[in-house]
């Protein structure tokens, strides 16, 4: 990399590195609404994808949203097949592995139970079967070394699944008692079935989303560029607009946390 990469302030210059050719390949898990998923028209949509589109518009990049297999995300990033992971991507616990932007969004992990459940607060979960997505932030929080390790240990069983859709079916049919999940994802999946599911008032934790790039000089430089663009989008009000667009899916501008430029 070179030292002239502090172009973050202007927000109009593109990264001038050899490996980045202006195709902004955004790796995401398409099973992760509302951040990235398949819209009703069949094209990729979601809060993070719209946000990335706005960044690319500013930079004159071409956005290439690329669904990836979560197993391959690091390999893809390191080998340059994707430019970044931008997908409700939790920073906490991953600081060492990626070149992150500053956190732009606060997120919280919550617990969903059936409306009729006798579980009212986190402590009621003792001895219950709780499920969460494999390699999710919620899982990190509840397992060894996480901030809710003790709670996790009190569960009867902490299971994982590859897809929250299945988790909700399991919850509905009685195979699990609760789901630990990102708040917006919970809202999305509950949809209009608010009479059947209930989100506990008590949060598991709060954490932050960032955009993850490869931990290289190029990656760090791109992270700075994107970070500056996000700040610009915030100041022009685009960020707020997008939050409102996805408000019914649990996104809220209250959670926007990127420090102003």
Partner 1 sequence: MDFGTMMGMLLSGYRISIIIFAVTLVGSIPLGMLVALGRLSKFKPLSLLMQLFISVLRGTPLMLQMFAVSFMPYYVFGLKTDANFPMIAVLISFVINYAAYFAEIYRSGIQSIPRGQYEAAEVLGYSSRQTFQRIVLPQVVKRVLPAMGNEVVTLVKDTSLAFSLGVLEMFTQARAIVTSQRTMAAFAVAALIYWVTCLIIEYVMRHIEKRLDYYHD
Site string for partner 1, 43-82 (x = CB under 8 A): -----------------------xxxxxxxxxxx--xxx-
Rank residues 7 and 160 by Cβ distance to partner 1 and give the closer one. 160
Q: Is 154 in the site for partner 1 (CB under 8 A)?
A: no
Site for partner 1 contains 141 (CB under 8 A): no
Sequence-distant (6+) residues with CB within 8 A of 113 are 119, 171, 177, 178, 179, 197, 198, 200
118 binds partner 1 (CB under 8 A): no
Coil, strand, or helix at residue 242? Answer: helix
Our CB check for partner 1 shows the closer of 231 and 249 to be 249
Residue 113 to residue 95: CA distance in whole angstroms: 31
User: Taking CB under 8 A as the criterion, which residues in 231-260 touch partner 1?
Assistant: none
Per rule CB under 8 A, is residue 123 in the interface with partner 1?
Answer: no
Minimum separation from the CB atom of position 82 to partner 1 (A): 8
DSSP 207: E
In the bound state with partner 1, the residue whose beta carbon lies nearer, of 37 and 104, is 37
Measured CA angle at 137 (ends 32, 70), to 5 deg: 50
Q: Considering the complex, what minimum distance in angstroms separates the CB of residue 75 from partner 1?
A: 5
In the chain, what is the straight-line distance between the N-terminal and C-terminal CA atoms, in Å? 23
Residues with Cβ within 8 Å of 173's Cβ and at least 6 positions away in sequence, in order, are none
Q: Which of 24, 37, 89, 213 binds partner 1 (CB under 8 A)?
A: 37
> Helix and strand tally (H, E) in the chain?
8, 13
Residues that bind partner 1 (CB under 8 A): 30-33, 37-42, 66-76, 79-81, 97, 129, 131, 134-135, 140, 156-157, 159-170, 172-176, 189, 191
């Amino acid at each position: 990399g070179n030292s002239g990469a502090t172009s973050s302030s202007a927000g109009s210059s593109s990264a001038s590195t050899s490996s980045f050719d202006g195709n902004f390949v955004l790796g995401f898990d398409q099973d992760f609404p509302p951040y990235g998923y398949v819209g009703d028209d069949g094209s990729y949509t979601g809060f993070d994808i719209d946000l990335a589109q706005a960044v690319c518009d500013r930079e004159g990049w071409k956005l290439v949203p690329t669904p990836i297999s979560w197993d391959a995300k690091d390999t893809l990033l390191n080998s340059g097949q994707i430019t970044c992971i931008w997908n409700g991507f939790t920073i906490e616990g991953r600081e060492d592995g990626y070149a992150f932007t500053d956190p732009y969004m606060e997120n919280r992990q919550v617990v969903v139970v059936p409306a009729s459940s006798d579980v009212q607060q986190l402590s009621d979960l003792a001895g219950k079967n709780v499920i969460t997505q494999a390699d999710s932030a919620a899982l990190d929080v509840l397992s060894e070394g996480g901030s809710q390790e003790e709670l996790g240990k009190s569960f009867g069983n902490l299971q994982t699944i590859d897809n929250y859709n299945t988790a909700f079916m399991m919850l509905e049919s009685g195979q699990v008692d609760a789901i630990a999940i990102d708040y917006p994802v919970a809202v999305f999946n509950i949809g209009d079935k608010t009479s059947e599911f209930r989100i506990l008032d008590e949060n598991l934790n709060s954490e932050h989303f960032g955009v993850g790039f490869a931990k290289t000089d190029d990656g760090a430089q791109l992270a700075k560029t994107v970070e500056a663009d996000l700040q610009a989008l915030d100041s022009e009000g685009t960020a707020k607009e997008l939050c409102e667009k996805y408000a019914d899916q649990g996104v809220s501008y209250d959670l926007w946390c990127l420090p102003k430029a």
